[in-house]
Amino acid sequence: MNSAKNDTSPLKITLRGDIRQIPRLEDYVAELASRSGMDPSLALSVNLALEEAVTNVLLYAYPKGQDAVADIEAFASKGSVRIILSDSGVPFDPTKADTADTSLGVEERPIGGLGIFLVRQIMDSVEYRYEGGKNILTMTKNF
Amino acid sequence: MEIIIKNQGTETLVELVGRLDTLASQEITPQMTGLQDKADGVIILDCKKLEYISSSGLRLFLTLRKAAAVKGGKVIVRSISPEIRNVFMMTGFLNLFQVED
Q: In what order do the strands lie in the sheet containing A134-142?
A: A11-16, A69-77, A80-87, A134-142, A125-131
R_g (Cα) of chain A, nearest Å: 15
d(CA B65, CA B71): 10
Query: How many other CB atoms sit within 10 Å of the CB of residue A120?
Result: 18
Substitution target from A19, A104, A116 for chain B, most B beta carbons within 10 A: A19
DSSP class of residue A10 equals P
Q: Above 90 in pLDDT, residue A5?
A: no
pLDDT in tens, A85-102: 999 999 999 999 888 999
Calculate the CA A102 to chain-centre distance.
21
Q: Which CATH number fits domain A11-142: 3.30.565.10, 1.10.3720.10, 3.30.300.30, 3.50.50.60?
A: 3.30.565.10
CA–chain centroid gap for A95, Å, is: 13
- According to DSSP, the residues that pair with B6 across neighbouring strands are B13
What mean pLDDT is predicted for residues A5-10?
66
pLDDT recorded at residue A98? 86
Chain B, nearest residue to A42 by Cα: B83
Tens of pLDDT, residue by residue over B7-23, are 998 899 999 999 999 99
State mean pLDDT over B56-82. Answer: 98
CB count in 10 Å sphere of residue A104: 13
Q: What is the ipTM of this complex?
A: 0.95
What is the average pLDDT across A92-113?
A: 94
Map out the domains of chain A as residue ranges: 11-142
Q: Provide the shortest C-alpha distance from residue B62 to chain A (in Å).
A: 7
pLDDT of B97 above 60: yes
**Residue A2 reports pLDDT greater than 80:** no
List the end-to-end C-alpha distance of chain A, in Å, as a whole number. Answer: 24
The C-alpha angle with vertex A92 and arms to A60 and A26, in degrees rounded to 5, equals 55
Structural domains of chain B, count? 1
User: A131: closest CA among A93, A80, A97, A98?
Assistant: A93
At residue A7, the pLDDT reads 53
pLDDT at A1 over 90: no
Domain around B67: 2-100
Tell me if B87 sits within 8 A of B93, measured CB to CB.
yes
Q: Under a CB-based contact definition with an 8 Å cutoff, are residues B83 and A44 in contact?
A: yes
Radius of gyration, alpha carbons of chain B: 12
Over residues A118-143, the mean pLDDT reads 98
The per-type count for chain B, helices as H runs and strands as E runs, is 3, 5
Across chain A, mean pLDDT equals 94
Inter-chain touch A48–B65, beta carbons under 8 Å: no
Q: How many Å from the N-terminal Cα to the C-terminal Cα in chain B?
A: 22
Convert the pLDDT of each residue in A31-57 to its tens digit. 999 999 999 999 999 999 999 999 999
B21/A112 touch (CB, cutoff 8 Å), yes or no: no
Per-residue confidence (pLDDT) for residue A8, from 0 to 100: 72
Which of chain B's residues have a Cβ under 8 Å away from the Cβ of A117? 91
Q: Who's near A108: CB < 8 A, 6+ residues apart?
A: none
Distance CA A83, CA A73 (A): 6
CATH number for the domain including B33?
3.30.750.24
